[in-house]
Chains A and B, each alone.
Chain A
Amino acid sequence: MIRPPYRRSSLRAAVALLAFCSAAAALAAAAPDTLEQRVAACTSCHGARGEGSPDGVLAPRLAGKPAGYLLQQLEYFQSGQRRHAPMEYVVRQLSQPYLRQIAEYFAAQDLPYHRWPQPAVSAEVLRRGEQVVLHGDPARAVPSCVSCHGDKLTGFEPMMPGLVGLSSGYISNQLVSWRTHTRAAEGPYCMGVVANRMRESDIAAVSAWLASHAPAADMHPQPAAAQTTPLPGWCVMGHSEVNP
């Protein structure tokens, strides 16, 4: 089981950071023996506590995502199954146990979510987005997004990411990456199937609706036990419909 050991770290992080800034200015005699100090490379892009870059596209939010999911993505960058040169370079020299600690660290960051500005799309496009997110596109056998990501869209521990707090640019980039095979996955290729079945115009629609959707009251991923809707057969470990 993944047990985030850094729950109380928000205050500690702030104190440590302050202490670091003043101490470092005086003399760089020592650096704080903390994970936040160690991952300075990551936070330079993803924000001091993994809140994401200000535009939400340059680097996505990491804070509060399920630890198992974050670790898996870091491993995909390492193996080249998910492509993004700066990410691939930065994780190259790290071991699996260290990546796990880093994943748990960002998963444990409890930060408020904010709503992205309403993308400039028509009300009709937003309605279509809502339709696909909540009900899918039965004509093309696209299941609804909520059927896997949860009715609150906050995902489930330990592996299912939520679709909250992501910018529309980031979401549409990801959907396109699955179609162009620059973001793949082992075993069940869930999002590969979903993204490839989707109408191209629906990518913009769901991205716009998700980004502007009012955040749920509780944004934490739901516990694994809350995932009661069974995943479709092709999205279950052990089954493989690879690269449709």
Chain B
Amino acid sequence: MKWLRRGVGLLVVLLLIGAAAWWYLARDQRAPSTPVQREADAAALVDPARIERGKYLATVGDCAACHTARGGQPYAGGRSLATPFGDVPAPNITPDADTGIGQWSFDDFWAALHLGKGRHGQLLYPVFSYTSFTRVTRDDALSIFAYLKSLPPVNQPAQPTGLEFPYNVRSSLVAWRALYFKPGVYQPDPAQSPQWNRGAYLVQGLGHCNECHAPRDSLGGIEQNQHLTGGQIPQLDWYAPDLSTRSGGGLEGWSAQDVIDLLKTGQSSKGSAFGPMADVVRLSTQHMTDADLQAVATYLQALPPRAPAAPVAFPQAASHEQGGKLYAKHCADCHGDNGQGVAGIYPPLDGNTSVTGPTSINAIRSVLLGGFAPATAANPRPYSMPPFAQQLSDEDVAAVVSYVRQSWSNKASAVAPVEVSRSRHTPVD
């Protein structure tokens, strides 16, 4: 938490800068719609085709993942989202008049999604991914709103936020927004194909992939120039990889089909989804149309190559031999003697970017937690991996993870036992 304390100092400075910018930014930026527009909106809200489209878009936006408590009513809120600054509960967005968005106009909803502002103009915390959702078109937002309005209302009051001073003062977000939030609907790039543009719109907007797949600084913000370059997700402690499939990218060597397979089935010939990505696949991307998945893959395939990492020859772990024995005993049955896996069943570990990633946290936690790839329509009965947290010591986990990171074609750094002991908690939301 050292970085947090440093961050607080920085924040005070930023608050001052922010105050200066206040008069400009705190002005209500929403342009209220005209009476004619409002009437058109009202008619749109009851159009069944639009409601159906809204349902699809809300699934792509994965709104239910945050706005549903575990075991709770869909969209009725109650789930608390952990941030380094405290917990922020996701509110009820069913059309309940008292506790949900029953009394909201479309203008109110648009202000939330596009500008990150609540119904009374209050600034919303960016754990609500409006930094991405701002790219969504007005028409798509209207469809989502129509869908939400069509849901059965659930009476469930909002919970208080668990943020401490100064973060509990919403106006402290003025400075944060000045730094990290640029409202604006996605503008198609005429130099690119319609498919690429559709992919860009989905990835940058509703898919909010960048909210996880980019590094966050000490203020929890993503620098404007960081687009899908990979980062550790604060609090969750999983690493979401760089998504470039070109040389030096986190998904180097992934074909468009691999990307589509992963998002649609939870598995691919290059690796399978686990941790938060398994949630994303199960709740959201598996339901995307083939055309949209193809568009997303096209866009990811076109991300720029990354600067090659400085060629480092990582010294082989002293535990390599022990790691090999552990691998033969505990892992080879499923992942193969040479880390080749079993197609469609067990992911390969050779050449797997989750294994060789710039940090070893995903590989360590996969070994500790085991588990199933997500059950999807295309893979309804996934196979599983035993958790090794109970069976293997920190030294053994470090040895076997180092072994897989340094065997076959894999060339990554070794892992120390202390990194394993740091990752020994089981996430349960």
Q: Which residues of A contact B (CB under 8 A)?
A: 20-21, 24-25, 27-31, 35, 37-45, 58, 78-81, 83, 85-86, 88-90, 92-95, 97-98, 101
Contact = CB atoms under 8 A, between A and B. Distances in A.
A38 B382 contact: yes
B408 interface: no
Given A44-B386, A80-B70, A97 B380 contact: yes
Contacts of B332: 24, 28
Contacts, number: 110
Contacts of B381: 35, 38, 98, 101
Contacts of A83: 428
A30 B426 CA distance: 31
A89 B386 contact: no
B217 interface: no
B345 interface: yes
A104 to B, nearest CB: 13
Contacts of B391: 44
B184 interface: no
B224 interface: no
Interface of B: 70-71, 266, 278-279, 282, 332-337, 340-342, 345-346, 369-375, 380-387, 389-391, 425-429
A24 B386 contact: no
Given A38-B382, A86-B426, A28 B341 contact: yes
A92 B332 CA distance: 26
Q: Interface residues of B: mostly helix, strand, loop or mixed? A: loop
Contact of A41 (B70, B372, B374, B429): B372
Contacts of B282: 93
B428 A80 contact: yes
A53 to B, nearest CB: 10
A83 B340 CA distance: 36
Contact of A90 (B279, B341, B370): B370
Contacts of A98: 375, 380-381
B336 A41 contact: no
A50 to B, nearest CB: 14
B386 A40 contact: yes
A89 B385 CA distance: 12
Contacts of A45: 386-387, 390
Given A80-B70, A92-B278, 5 more contacts: A24-B334, A28-B336, A41-B385, A89-B369, A89-B428
24 contacts: A24-B333, A24-B334, A27-B336, A28-B334, A28-B337, A31-B334, A31-B345, A31-B383, A38-B382, A38-B383, A39-B384, A40-B383, A40-B386, A41-B387, A43-B386, A45-B390, A83-B428, A85-B426, A85-B428, A89-B369, A90-B370, A93-B371, A98-B375, A98-B380
B382 A93 contact: yes
A79 B69 CA distance: 9
Contact of A95 (B371, B380, B383): B380
Given A38-B384, A41-B387, A80 B336 contact: no
Contacts of B278: 92-93
A42 B372 CA distance: 10
Given A89-B369, A90-B371, A98-B381, A28 B71 contact: no
B375 A93 contact: yes
Contact of B337 (A27, A30, A78, A85): A27
B346 A80 contact: no
B375 A95 contact: yes
A94 B370 contact: no
A88 B428 contact: yes
Contacts of A89: 369, 371, 387, 426-428
B398 to A, nearest CB: 20
Contacts of A40: 334, 383-386
Nearest to B340: A28
Q: Which of B369, B371, B382, B391 has the most CB of A within 10 A?
A: B371
A121 to B, nearest CB: 28
A78 B380 CA distance: 17
A103 B427 CA distance: 24
Contact of B70 (A20, A44, A79, A86): A79
B341 A41 contact: no
Q: Which of A21, A80, A92 has the most CB of B within 10 A?
A: A92
A43 B386 CA distance: 8
Contacts of B383: 31, 37-38, 40
Contacts of B340: 28
Q: Which of A28, A38, A98 has the most CB of B within 10 A?
A: A28
Contacts of B335: 28
A80 B342 contact: no
Given A86-B387, A86-B389, A94 B342 contact: no
A78 B71 CA distance: 7
A58 B391 CA distance: 12
A185 to B, nearest CB: 12
Nearest to A83: B428
A41 B390 CA distance: 12
